[in-house]
Structure 1
Amino acid sequence: MPVNITNRENAEAIIRQQVVSTVFQDAPRQSVFMSMARKLPNMTSNQTRIRVLDFLPTAYWVDGDTGMKQTTKQAWDNVYLDAAELAVIVPIPEAVLDDAEFDIFGEITPRVNEAIGQRVDSAVVFGVNRPAAWRNDIITTARQAGNNVAVGSSPDYYNLIMGEGGVISKVEEDGYMATGCLAAMGMRAKLRGIRATDGSLIFKSDMQGSTQYALDGAPMYFPQNGAFDNTVAQMVVGDFKQAVYSIRQDVTVKILDQGVIQDPVTKEIVYNLAQQDMVALRVVFRMGWALPNPATRMDEDRVGCPFAYLEPATAVTTQKVTFTVSDNQTTPAAIEGAIIDVNGSRLKTNGSGKAEFNLRAGTYPAKIRKAGFGQITETVIVASSAVTKAVTLIPKE
């Protein structure tokens, strides 16, 4: 039976006993991602649509005084934010509340808010417990764009970060400016003392005594809410304003004193609030996020990514997922330039009709499309071996 309950032992420090009635808690550290990304107006339904530029217009030179001016087109694509729910119930015996000298609910609520921030950061940046309706996380998206930087056996962190092919240049090559950086706490020791060619420090606080740090002028954060997974990345750099989020339901708190609490797996009753003289704190939060990635002059096919990351010494295990796209002729011909969207990560097929992704274990929805052909939807299941997908596109009539 579960034992997730705030009992007398857990609350011992604030129960009216012969102890010093002092409570010390750090200021709750909530979502670093939400503090850096761009907040959209609150969602009015479970799903919100954003229109993003998908095809850029083209200008043409006119041949001579009587030359004909040509037409062009501009197109938009739909990007969706799907609201996912985070919730928790904290049951507490009324006897514990009665004997407490301080507001237990007031002490618990900030910690729950911090837990929500940790869950958001873990899901958005690393894909940990990612809701099924959400697009690929930032790390997965950056990897498919080739924006992962391996450190090697003798890492030169200056060039890995600042040099050609480093994480900052990866972001810039896709047409974005790095506006922020997240890193594991262990990166601080690796960055101290690194200087640019002019002798200036690339990593420093923005003022004496400040806890705010900067990397090459961009704000740098070291999340302390437990969300940063240093087994997946040492550092994440990017244009965080390209990521957007919207809140469907702000953090709501409700105190329950009636009803039962069931085990989500066995469905057995764990607590009967009325019968056991208990109350329960229920906290609910709902939000969605997206990485619209509109077409730009530097990335007209929208296959780039505004983020890049520095891998750990041992890179996370992924499996190669190869799509081969051809037409439906008697002798199938490879289709070059088909766009394959694997849950928000986009690649374009080469001259052989192939596109290769590197994905962690999981289930991914995929859409394959090419102008003049009907769109195909596939499901990709990645386990412990490489995956191949043959896709046939049928011309539109």
Structure 2
Amino acid sequence: MADNFTSSIGRADLGGALIPDDISQEIIQTMPESSVLLTRAKRTAMSARKKTQPVLATLPEAYWVQEGALKQTSKTGWEDVNITAEELAVIVPIPDSVVDDSKINLWNTVKPLIAEAFGRKIDGAGIFGVDKPATWGDDILTGATKANNTITQGTGTDLAQDVAKLAQKVSEEGFAVNGFASQPGLNWQLVGLRDANGQPVYQPSLAQGTPSNLYGYPLNEVKNGAWDPTKAVLLAADWSKFVVGVRQDMTYQLFDQGVISDADGKVIYNLMQQDAKALRVVMRVGFAVANPMTRVAKKGTQYPAGFIVPKAGA
């Protein structure tokens, strides 16, 4: 991934509408989309960089005992899943003159866009392995593929059957599918689909900020740019088995002095000398998948998620 130390917001990036000569203008922009992992996965606070999450690895057994016979013994074992928090950060410099002449609060406008960018990084790394920290282990797509929990779109007579077949596959391994995530626009493929009883399988959301429903479970379309439609159409999962560890939530600090340098130490931006301020945003977050043993799956074959993948060449 190429380093970027030279980006800043200038007048050319804002356009005349945001720095008008004498009138204030309303900003019209796409509402930033949150992270589906931060929204749906189990969130746990971390008091250190690393945290250990015990996961059930072996299950106890029970035995019939004849009258007067000896009772047998059994044991249960756990394995550790390690969550390591890695730092996600960015610095956004803006010249003071641009802030002064703007008719909007640029800093308040930039903050939610940065949050969206952070969400995109987290989802891309956790779901597809894009720019993933090495300490995070396998991404969800890799883990599901290893467990053979994928179905090619078009396996059933329609998308509704594909979803049902995928959820059945995950359920047969002992996990309860309790939600979905998908590529943007999938809702239009789902509208009008019916189950065997003629009932709609998809119900669009009627309130902003709440997910739609697919087979009665929430469906989050990933609209922050992290979803790769060439790799997957839909994710079905037991979301309680995805763990997001937060060591440090998003923190914002505004600086009016200091320098910004590149990887070689060359000063690119001097805030005091160039009359500018810089917003520094930092978050420390980890991700792991808990994959406990279940009663109905052979050890090592189970996984709490699966994907509908596109047809080859689609």
Q: CA 1:133–1:188 in structure 2 vs 1: closer, same or farther (change >3 Å)?
A: same
Identity level (%): 35
List alignment gaps of at least 5 residues for structure 2: none
The answer to whether the aligner puts 1:10 opposite 2:13 as a matched pair is: yes
> For 1:5-39, what per-residue CA distance to the aligned partner results, in whole angstroms no more than 9, with x for missing partners?
10122234332524542223444321112111112
Alignment partners' CA distance in 2, 1:38 and 1:300: 25
Which one has a bigger Cα radius of gyration? 1
Contact 1:55 1:300 in 2 (8 A): no
Q: CA 1:300–1:74 in structure 2 vs 1: closer, same or farther (change >3 Å)?
A: farther
The answer to whether the aligner puts 1:56 opposite 2:55 as a matched pair is: no
Match of 1:134 in 2: 136
Match of 2:47 in 1: 44
Q: CA 1:83–1:102 in structure 2 vs 1: closer, same or farther (change >3 Å)?
A: same
Aligned alpha-carbon RMSD (Å): 2.4
Q: CA 1:38–1:217 in structure 2 vs 1: closer, same or farther (change >3 Å)?
A: same
Match of 1:116 in 2: 118
> For 1:366-386, what per-residue CA distance to the aligned partner results, in whole angstroms no more than 9, with x for missing partners?
xxxxxxxxxxxxxxxxxxxxx
Q: CA 1:57–1:300 in structure 2 vs 1: closer, same or farther (change >3 Å)?
A: farther
The answer to whether the aligner puts 1:247 opposite 2:251 as a matched pair is: no
Alignment partners' CA distance in 1, 2:201 and 2:152: 20
Alignment partners' CA distance in 2, 1:28 and 1:262: 29
> For 1:174-211, what per-residue CA distance to the aligned partner results, in whole angstroms no more than 9, with x for missing partners?
11121111111242232222111111111123669997
SS in 2 for 1:14: coil
Alignment partners' CA distance in 1, 2:254 and 2:230: 38
Contact 1:257 1:279 in 2 (8 A): yes
SS in 1 for 2:13: coil
State the 1:303 CA deviation: 3.2
Contact 1:2 1:270 in 2 (8 A): yes
> For 1:219-254, what per-residue CA distance to the aligned partner results, in whole angstroms no more than 9, with x for missing partners?
112121111110110111111122121210011011
What amino acid is the match of 1:141?
G
The answer to whether the aligner puts 1:259 opposite 2:258 as a matched pair is: yes
Counterparts of 1:97-176 in structure 2, within 5 Å, are: 97-151=99-153, 156-162=158-164, 166-176=165-175
Q: What TM-score do you get using the length of structure 2 for normalisation?
A: 0.91
Contact 2:211 2:218 in 1 (8 A): yes
State the 1:3 CA deviation: 4.8
Match of 1:366 in 2: none
Q: What TM-score do you get using the length of structure 1 for normalisation?
A: 0.73
Counterparts of 1:180-195 in structure 2, within 5 Å, are: 180-195=179-194
Q: CA 1:35–1:114 in structure 2 vs 1: closer, same or farther (change >3 Å)?
A: same
State the 1:89 CA deviation: 0.4
Match of 2:213 in 1: 214
Alignment partners' CA distance in 1, 2:97 and 2:209: 44
State the 1:51 CA deviation: 1.4
What amino acid is the match of 2:312?
T
> For 1:296-316, what per-residue CA distance to the aligned partner results, in whole angstroms no more than 9, with x for missing partners?
212362531111101112279
SS in 2 for 1:71: coil
Match of 1:272 in 2: 270
The answer to whether the aligner puts 1:294 opposite 2:298 as a matched pair is: no
Alignment partners' CA distance in 2, 1:142 and 1:204: 27
Counterparts of 1:80-95 in structure 2, within 5 Å, are: 80-95=82-97
Alignment partners' CA distance in 2, 1:197 and 1:308: 23
Alignment partners' CA distance in 2, 1:104 and 1:210: 24
SS in 2 for 1:51: strand
Contact 1:296 1:302 in 2 (8 A): no
SS in 2 for 1:39: strand
Match of 1:229 in 2: 228
Contact 1:293 1:302 in 2 (8 A): no
What amino acid is the match of 1:168?
A
Alignment partners' CA distance in 2, 1:97 and 1:194: 50
Q: CA 1:37–1:209 in structure 2 vs 1: closer, same or farther (change >3 Å)?
A: closer
Match of 1:281 in 2: 279
Q: CA 1:154–1:245 in structure 2 vs 1: closer, same or farther (change >3 Å)?
A: closer
> For 1:321-346, what per-residue CA distance to the aligned partner results, in whole angstroms no more than 9, with x for missing partners?
xxxxxxxxxxxxxxxxxxxxxxxxxx
For this pair of structures, how many residues does the alignment match? 310
Q: CA 1:276–1:206 in structure 2 vs 1: closer, same or farther (change >3 Å)?
A: closer
Q: CA 1:51–1:208 in structure 2 vs 1: closer, same or farther (change >3 Å)?
A: closer
List alignment gaps of at least 5 residues for structure 1: 317-397
Q: CA 1:115–1:209 in structure 2 vs 1: closer, same or farther (change >3 Å)?
A: closer
Structure ranking higher on relative contact order (CA contacts 8 Å, 6+ apart) = 2
SS in 2 for 1:185: coil
Contact 2:55 2:79 in 1 (8 A): yes
The answer to whether the aligner puts 1:33 opposite 2:37 as a matched pair is: yes
Alignment partners' CA distance in 2, 1:153 and 1:289: 31
Match of 1:348 in 2: none
